[in-house]
Structure 1
Amino acid sequence: MDQTKVRDLVDEALALNESLYLIDFVISENNKIQITVDGDNGVPLSECIRISRSVDNNFDREEEDFSLEVSTPDIAHPLKVNRQYIKNINRILKVKTSVEEFEGTLVEADEDKIVLNWKAREPKPIGKGKVTVSKAATIAYKDIIEAKVKIVF
């Protein structure tokens, strides 16, 4: 299976809807093509079908034996692309870096970094008891090992 040709076909299909972007693209040894796409406003099933057909229609199944799967990312999977962070602003993220873990509301995401806010209970500077304080962390994408959206019911 020609990986470059498949990738070009996927890119062409995604170009028709600029709110969509590629998350993952894998061709296994037994020609199973797995394409994962996401969108700034979600991905309707019709778009997954359209992308699948634009790839499938450009190959002759008599010559190439392959399976094709176009899907959207599972909420349990980590964020992989910067645009996914922008899409999830105002949601709670669990972020792991090599130094520590954070859990907070994503309040900002740009090309280089994200900003998380959360509240924490800390001992009072004077006296007994605790006080609630607001905390923030600015984390560069390059420092993020894993980031997942926390599902709150």
Structure 2
Amino acid sequence: MKQAVLELVEKYLPDESHFVVDVKVEEKAGKTRLLILIDADQGITIDTCALVSRKVSEELETKDLIGEAYILEVSSPGLDYPLTTVRQYLKNLNRELKLTLASGSDLQGKLLQVGEDSIKLLTKRKEKGKKAIEEEVEVPFAEIKKSIVQVSFK
């Protein structure tokens, strides 16, 4: 089901700058809930979400892919939603990220570079009684459990 919905969504994205972040299929209060998260390199609009929602809904009904009543939500991932795709990382170059690593430790820094298998952050390490030292740290995607963009109000 998830794969079928993913293919439908990709079919109705306006252009190559738009991409699917996640598709979740959940059972909630006896109804199937489809949560579709989409984004774009330059940001997503509510009109794009509405268009994708309308088109996907029409095709779900036409092909009768979900037999019973369902709830369909099409949205952009919120600021608190973890980065999950390389495109999301690329979109957030030069922004501050907070990583939770597989080891359980946290790492925070400015996203400098996105590679095929890893990212590079500019972190600050403070030693007792000294100024903070900036250093570049490469972190493999395999070691990242969760990655959240930090919002700055400066």
User: Shorter chain as normaliser: what TM range?
Assistant: 0.7 to 0.9
Q: Which runs of 4+ in 1 moved over 4 A?
A: none
Trace 1:11-90 onto structure 2 (pairs within 5 A).
11-14=10-13, 16-29=14-27, 30-58=31-59, 59-60=61-62, 64-90=68-94
Q: Is the 8 A contact 1:24 1:35 kept in 2?
A: yes
**Is the partner of 1:70 in helix, strand or coil?**
strand
Aligned pair in 2 of structure 1 residues 4, 149: CA closer, same or farther (>3 Å)? closer
Q: Is the 8 A contact 1:106 1:116 kept in 2?
A: yes
Report the Cα distance in structure 2 between the residues aligned to 1:104 and 1:3, rounded to whole angstroms. Answer: 34
* Bigger radius of gyration: 1
Instruction: Give unmatched runs, 5+ long, in structure 1.
Output: 124-128
Q: Which moved further from structure 2: 112-121 or 72-81?
A: 112-121
Report the Cα distance in structure 2 between the residues aligned to 1:45 and 1:149, rounded to whole angstroms. Answer: 21
Question: Considering only aligned residues, what root-mean-square deviation do their CA atoms show, in Å?
Answer: 1.9
Q: Which residue matches 2:9?
A: 10
**Is the partner of 2:127 in helix, strand or coil?**
strand
Report the Cα distance in structure 1 between the residues aligned to 2:152 and 2:133, rounded to whole angstroms. Answer: 22
Trace 1:66-145 onto structure 2 (pairs within 5 A).
66-99=70-103, 100-122=105-127, 129-145=129-145
Scaled by the length of structure 1, what TM-score is found?
0.84
Q: Is the 8 A contact 2:2 2:23 kept in 1?
A: no
Report the Cα distance in structure 2 between the residues aligned to 1:4 and 1:75, rounded to whole angstroms. Answer: 25
Scaled by the length of structure 2, what TM-score is found?
0.84
Matched, 1:146 2:150: no
Instruction: Give unmatched runs, 5+ long, in structure 2.
Output: none
Aligned pair in 2 of structure 1 residues 65, 115: CA closer, same or farther (>3 Å)? same
How far is the alpha carbon of 1:64 from its aligned partner? Answer: 4.8
Aligned length: 145
